[in-house]
Amino acid sequence: MENSLKNILNGYHHFREKYAKGDLSVMRYLSRYGQNPQIMVVACCDSRVDPALILQCDPGDLFVVRNVANIVPPYERDEAHHGTSAALEFGICFLKVNHLILLGHSQCGGIQALMDNRSIGQNDFISNWVNLIHPSDKGCNADDCAKQALQQSYRNCLTFPWIKDRIEKQQLALHLWFFDIESGQIFMYSQEEGVYKVLP
Ligand SMILES: [Zn+2]
């Protein structure tokens, strides 16, 4: 435990050295001119799937929302507290990102929870959250289920009027990506061919 804290403090010092030192630093620039990311990512909370690390991005490059199993819920305008939907609204309507990437991954614990525990409330929030996903193929394995979940999140994206509108006007492109933890490869869904293909 002490070591892990030491590691992140070392990381913090490296970060400051690389990004926040001097008048011309990245952070000074971003502070002065604000953020202007072109890409938004919906990713899982999984510690192995950090979009900024996988894509080797700098501060300011990605607008990211992470939740258990990288789910985009349907558009529901009610009194409930919709954190992911609020992030989507911020990224798409205010920052006007041009790309929205839904980043699924292999070995997803959230998807596994959905498959193991579909109807039993043995936790406070997780089951209810992952039950947003209704896999079309009930007998599929967790990784195939995670890919089906991406398709469902894609369909849910289109229930947001401002996402649908920006896609139709070709101001926003929606991408479904699946990250394989073991190989570190990303597979991209081809809408034309209906299959996942290795990202070149
Ligand atoms: Zn996950």
For the chain, the domain total comes to 2
32 is catalytic: no
105 is catalytic: yes
Its pTM stands at 0.95
Separation CA 106–CA 181 (nearest Å): 6
44 is catalytic: yes
Q: Which domain holds residue 23?
A: 1-34
Residues 87, 177: one domain?
yes
Residues 4, 96: one domain?
no
Kindly give the distance from the C-alpha atom of residue 181 to the centroid of ligand 1, in angstroms, as a whole number. 10
Residue of 13, 16, 48, 155 with catalytic role: 48
Kindly give the distance from the C-alpha atom of residue 114 to the centroid of ligand 1, in angstroms, as a whole number. 11
Percentage of residues in the chain with pLDDT exceeding 90? 88
Structure tokens at 192: 């034309």
SS3 179: strand
Write out the chain's pLDDT in tens, 200 residues.
678 899 999 999 999 999 999 989 999 999 999 999 999 999 999 999 999 999 999 999 999 999 999 999 999 999 999 999 999 999 999 999 999 999 999 999 999 998 886 555 678 899 999 999 998 776 789 999 999 999 999 999 999 999 999 999 999 999 999 999 999 999 999 999 999 999 99
Among the listed residues 138, 118, 115, 139, the one whose alpha carbon sits nearest the alpha carbon of residue 128:
118
Residues 170, 148: one domain?
yes
Residues 61, 133: one domain?
yes
Residue of 61, 108, 157, 175 with catalytic role: 108
Residues 171, 88: one domain?
yes
Residues 30, 40: one domain?
no
Residues 4, 95: one domain?
no
Separation CA 123–CA 175 (nearest Å): 32
Kindly give the distance from the C-alpha atom of residue 120 to the centroid of ligand 1, in angstroms, as a whole number. 20
Residues 39, 28: one domain?
no
Residues 191, 153: one domain?
yes
